[in-house]
Amino acid sequence: MVDVTTQQRMPTEVKRGHALALPNLLTYGRCVAVPLVAACLFWSDILEGGLWLRWVALALYIVAAITDFFDGYLARVWSQQSAIGRMLDPIADKLLVSTSLLMLASDGTIRGWSLWAAIVILCREILVSGLREFLAELRVSVPVTRLAKWKTTAQLVAVAVLLAGPAADKLVPGITLFGLILLWIAALLTLYTGWDYFRAGARHLIEDE
């Protein structure tokens, strides 16, 4: 379960990290990857024989996902945490996953009942982001649980499999179906962790009245 604790006051001095530090450059690169992945999916659906662009989109997505680990790790190890990095890192993550889901729904890779799985993920991310910002104003911190980390991993893997989707089906039939199953697993984890988060936040707000 989520444990809500009062957030400690942040130090007033600026960290040693700066806008052009390597961890921030990795985050910028992840932001740049978002429109590139979207463009690959868009043109793969238009160009004749454009399925190869699916592999390009997958490669860009994997590189972007890897930078998500290294930017935070390097920022901690090199003491280069910065305000812009803390702001952009979660934004870049959500943009990458959300844009990919929207494009996959647009080209029909995600269709039928599976659209609800994508909707659940998108709505949860928007609602939790708003709640987190509101709680931050109250100086309340909600720690990330292990299950929430599994949820994030499930989302990343599901989207990666679906990006390959139709192109991978040519090699191994059933890849898209496998990706849709993973998407539903991610959606269920998203619902559970989201409810846990909202309940913890609501409990704090009620106690604060």
| Per-residue model confidence as pLDDT tens digits over 74-92 | 767 777 777 776 777 778 8
Q: Categorize the per-residue pLDDT at 29 as very low, low, confident or very high, splitting at 50, 70 and 90.
A: confident
Distance in angstroms (rounded) separating the CA atoms of residues 161 and 4: 35
Determine how many CB atoms are found less than 10 A away from the CB of residue 116.
Answer: 13
Number of folded domains that form the chain? 1
CA distance 209 to 207: 6
For residue 32, pLDDT beyond 60: yes
Identify the domain containing residue 163 by its residue range. Answer: 5-208
Q: Nearest 5 degrees, angle CA 122-CA 56-CA 87?
A: 45
What are the residues facing 6 on neighbouring strands?
140
99-111 confidence digits (pLDDT tens): 999 999 999 999 9
d(CA 53, CA 60): 10
What's the CATH number where 154 sits? 1.20.120.1760
Strands (E), 21-132: none
The model's pTM is 0.81
Hey, is 5 helix, strand or coil?
A: strand
Average the pLDDT over 167-186 and give the result.
Answer: 95
